[in-house]
Amino acid sequence: MTFEELGLEPNTLKAIAEMGYTTPTPIQEQAIGLIQMGRDVMGIAQTGTGKTASYTLPMIDILSNGRARARMPRSLILAPTRELAAQVSENFEQYGKYHKLSMALLIGGESFGDQERALDRGVDVLIATPGRMMDLFGRGRILLSDVKVLVIDEADRMLDMGFIPDVEKILGWLPPLRQTLLFSATMAPEIKRLADKFLSNPKLVSVAPPASPAELVTQGIVVVEARAKRDALRGLLKSQDVANAFIFCNRKRDVAVVYRSLERHGFSAGQLHGDMPQSMRTETLDAFRKGDIKMLVCSDVAARGLDIADVSHVFNFDVPSHAEDYVHRIGRTGRAGREGCAFTIATPEDGRYVAAIQKLIGRDIPLIHLDGTETLPLKDGDVAPSGRNRGGRGRSPKAKTKPEVRNEPKTETGIEAPVKSQTEAETKPEITVAPAAKAEPRARTERSPSPRSAERETSGRRNGRKGRTPQPADEIEEMQHGDNVLAFGDHTPSFLLRDPFAK
Ligand code: AMP
Radius of gyration (C-alpha) of the chain in whole angstroms = 23
211 CA to centre of ligand 1 in angstroms: 13
Confirm if 107 and 132 have CB atoms less than 8 A apart: yes
pLDDT, residue 362, reads 81
Measuring CA to CA, which residue among 291, 290, 320, 292 is closest to residue 303? 320
334 ligand 1 Cβ < 6 A: no
What's the rounded mean pLDDT across residues 392-416? 32
pLDDT, residue 292, reads 93
193 by DSSP, 3-state: which? Answer: helix
41 CA to centre of ligand 1 in angstroms: 19
23 CA to centre of ligand 1 in angstroms: 10
Q: Identify the band that residue 477 occupies on the pLDDT scale cut at 50, 70 and 90.
A: very low
H or E segment and range at residue 248:
strand 245-249
- 263 vs 325, more confident: 263
Residue 125 pLDDT > 60, yes or no? Answer: yes
For residue 49, which atom of ligand 1 is closest to its CA? 2
H or E segment and range at residue 402:
strand 402-403
- 343 vs 82, more confident: 343
What's the rounded mean pLDDT across residues 319-337? 80
Residue type (1 letter), 49: T
pLDDT, residue 351, reads 93
Residue 169 pLDDT > 70, yes or no? Answer: yes
pLDDT, residue 502, reads 58
pLDDT, residue 426, reads 32
What's the rounded mean pLDDT across residues 150-154? 96
48 ligand 1 Cβ < 6 A: yes
β-strands 149-152, 75-78 pairing: parallel
H or E segment and range at residue 201:
none
2 CA to centre of ligand 1 in angstroms: 15
Buried b or exposed e, range 153-176, using 16+ CB within 10 angstroms: bbbbbbbbbebbebbeebbeebee
Residue 432 pLDDT > 50, yes or no? Answer: no
- 61 vs 377, more confident: 61
Q: Do domains 4-206 and 217-387 have the same CATH topology?
A: yes
What's the rounded mean pLDDT across residues 19-23? 87
114: β partners: none
The burial of 377, by beta-carbon neighbours within 10 Å (0-12 exposed, 13-18 middle, 19 or more buried), is given as: middle
pLDDT, residue 154, reads 92
Lowest mean per-residue pLDDT among 98-107, 271-280, 319-328, 369-378: 369-378
List, in sequence order, the alpha helices (H) in 64-147: 82-95, 112-121, 130-138
Lowest mean per-residue pLDDT among 12-26, 145-159, 393-407: 393-407
Residue 402 pLDDT > 60, yes or no? Answer: no
pLDDT, residue 499, reads 62
What's the rounded mean pLDDT across residues 139-152? 92
What's the rounded mean pLDDT across residues 14-20? 91
Confirm if 288 and 308 have CB atoms less than 8 A apart: yes
pTM: 0.53
Which residue has a Cα nearest atom 6 of ligand 1? 48
Confirm if 135 and 106 have CB atoms less than 8 A apart: no
Residue 481 pLDDT > 70, yes or no? Answer: no
Q: Phi and psi (nearest 5°) for 361?
A: -85, -5
53 ligand 1 Cβ < 6 A: yes
DSSP state, 23?
S
Lowest mean per-residue pLDDT among 200-214, 246-260, 293-307, 369-383: 369-383
347 ligand 1 Cβ < 6 A: no
- The architecture that CATH gives domain 4-206 is 3-Layer(aba) Sandwich (3.40)
For residue 218, CA distances in Å to 30, 469, 502 come to 31, 38, 57
Report the alpha-carbon distance of residue 493 to residue 476 in Å, rounded. Answer: 7
Residue 12 pLDDT > 60, yes or no? Answer: yes
Q: Where are the domains of the chain?
A: 4-206, 217-387
Range of 10-19, 216-225, 319-328 with top mean pLDDT? 10-19
Tell whether the torsion through CA atoms of 223, 225, 226 and 230 is positive or negative. negative
Tell whether the torsion through CA atoms of 214, 216, 222 and 226 is positive or negative. negative
Other Cβ atoms within 10 Å of 463 Cβ, number: 18
127 by DSSP, 3-state: which? Answer: strand
pLDDT, residue 215, reads 66
Range of 18-22, 259-263, 383-387, 429-433 with top mean pLDDT? 259-263
Residue partners of 5: CB distance under 8 A and separation at least 6: none
51 CA to centre of ligand 1 in angstroms: 7
Tell whether the torsion through CA atoms of 11, 12, 13 and 14 is positive or negative. positive
- The architecture that CATH gives domain 217-387 is 3-Layer(aba) Sandwich (3.40)
Tell whether the torsion through CA atoms of 152, 153, 154 and 160 is positive or negative. negative
What are 263-304's pLDDT values in tens digits? 999 999 999 887 777 778 878 888 998 899 999 999 887 776
Residue type (1 letter), 403: P
Half-sphere CA count of 381, side-chain side, radius 13 A: 18
26 ligand 1 Cβ < 6 A: no
What are 341-387's pLDDT values in tens digits? 999 999 999 999 999 998 888 888 998 887 766 668 788 754 333 33
Which of 4, 23, 25, 90 to mutate for ligand 1's pocket (most ligand atoms within 8 Å of CB)?
A: 25
406 CA to centre of ligand 1 in angstroms: 39
Residue 183 pLDDT > 70, yes or no? Answer: yes
Residue type (1 letter), 72: M
Average pLDDT, the chain: 76
Confirm if 188 and 220 have CB atoms less than 8 A apart: no
48 CA to centre of ligand 1 in angstroms: 6
pLDDT, residue 462, reads 37
